Structure 1
C-alpha cells in the first residue's frame, strides 16, 4: 500500500492529470499483477502496460506521483515496482 501520509490529499488540482492518462478506463489488471504471477506472464503484462505508458501524455506526472508516495505495486509512469525501487536505492539495484 502507498504511504498515505505522502498522498497529496483532497486538492483536486493535484489529481487532475489522471483524467488525461492513457490508461484511464483500461482496467487495473493490465498494470497490477495478480498474486503469484511470475516469469513470462508477468513480463508480458509489464510490457503491455509499458506500451500504454509510452504514449501517455501524463507519464511524467504519473511517475512523479508513484515515486513521491512510494507506490509499492504496479506499473506507474512506465516503470515497474522493481524499477522504481531501484531509483530509490541504486546500490540495491546493482547488487
Structure 2
C-alpha cells in the first residue's frame, strides 16, 4: 500500500461518513455541501486534490470506504461523477 497524504486521508474520512458502503447517501452529502461552510469548502478542496493527484488506488479506497471498484479508472470515473453531483449539479452518481 502506498502512503496516502493527509489531504487524501482527511477526504477519505469525510467521504466515508456519507458515501461508505454501509452509509451510501450522496443525497445527504449534497444537501450538506450546498450549505457553504468551512467543512464543505475543505471537502471540495480535498476532493479536487484527490482527483488531480490520483494517489489513491481502488484497493485503498475499498479498504477505507467498503466500496469495491475493479480498477483505478473505474474508481476515478465514479469519483468524477460524485464530484459533479456534489459541486456541479450533475446527475446522481451510480457506483455498481
Name the TM-score, length of structure 2 as normaliser. Answer: 0.35
Name the TM-score, length of structure 1 as normaliser. Answer: 0.35
